[in-house]
Amino acid sequence: MERPELPLPQLHAFAVLAEELHFGRAAARLGIAQPPLSQQIRRLEDKVGHPLFRRDPGGVTLTPVGRELLPAAQRALTGLADALAAARAVGSGEAGRLRIGFSASLALTVLPGLLNTFRRRHPAVRLDMREMTSAPQLTALRERTIDVGLLREPPADRPDLCFRTVLTEPFVAVLPAGHPLAARRAVRIEQLAEEPFVLLPREDGPQLYDRITGLCADAGFTPTIAQHAVEWQTVCALVGAGLGVSLAPASIRRIRLRGVAFRRTEPGAAPTRVAVAWRTDDPDPLVRHLLAAATETLPPGP
């Protein structure tokens, strides 16, 4: 049997009249005259097929049919009010879900403070954190499977994306603790020319990979890549195991691994950049809120 539609204005009129049990008071509460209220109730009764109220000279009382309908009507109205409030909260950026891609090494630097600030300001927003290297973040932004990325060395040729630098840091040499250069306070990059290197795969972060190999080229050599590792922690572990050396952003020093030494590099190279990335055409207010939290939490980049 086909279910009749119950328009929400009629349910609202019914629920108010059921609470007041008086047409005059119910009409005043609804801000309408009594005749339109009576018409709303009659239309609803026509749809139900039975009277909802018994009309008496002193007011009205609910019929058994009305008593049966009232809880469902109240639930429907409450559900709609809750849904409207939730929709408004999402529209204003006070609720909803924000999908954030981040490079693993940034969990050691910018991520904790940024997320703490954001969650303090917007506690009702659900954060969906996705660990991924820089190149997959760019793909995920393009495919709209994340909303914001936190990555190293943003590309310069992506008009579909915006980038805001939130951190700059120098490069350090990553050495086995027993390496002769580990006894020095600083290492000249050309001193690593004969060493095998452990680096992230270029496809996971081409800009950062090219920055590191570019530093080597500026020092007069092309590095010999002995091993690749997807995460900086694995890079450091392989260096500690004696499989090679590396050049890395300075925050990698926070990875405490026995057998690994980090040394300042000379000459001082241009720093590596960490940036927030988002789609140029994304109107989501949650993205703007995250950028505001980044501006508050993190020192401005150049």
**Which of these ranges, 1-15, 73-87, 187-201, 268-282, has the smallest mean pLDDT?**
1-15
Domain 171-270 has CATH 3.40.190.10: yes
Q: In a 10 Å sphere around its CB, with 0-12 CB exposed, 13-18 middle and 19+ buried, how is residue 202 labelled?
A: middle
CATH 3.40.190.10 fits 96-167+273-297, yes or no: yes
pLDDT of residue 76: 84
Q: Give the residue, 134 or 105, on which the prediction is more confident.
A: 134
- List pLDDT tens digits, range 24-81: 898 999 898 989 888 888 998 888 889 989 988 777 888 998 888 888 888 888 887 7
pLDDT given for residue 3 in this prediction = 52
pLDDT digits (tens, 9 = 90+) for 65-91: 888 888 888 888 888 776 676 666 666
pTM: 0.66
pLDDT at 2: 46
% the chain with pLDDT above 70:
91
Instruction: Provide the mean pLDDT of the chain.
Output: 87
Fold of 8-91: Arc Repressor Mutant, subunit A (1.10.10)
The H-assigned helical ranges of the chain are 8-20, 23-30, 34-48, 64-91, 110-121, 134-142, 206-218, 232-240, 285-297
Do 96-167+273-297 and 171-270 have matching folds?
yes
pLDDT grade, residue 191 (50/70/90)?
A: very high
Round to whole Å and give the CA distance between 42 and 19.
17
> Whole-angstrom Cα distance, residue 167 to residue 110?
8
User: Residue ranges of the domains in the chain?
Assistant: 8-91, 96-167+273-297, 171-270
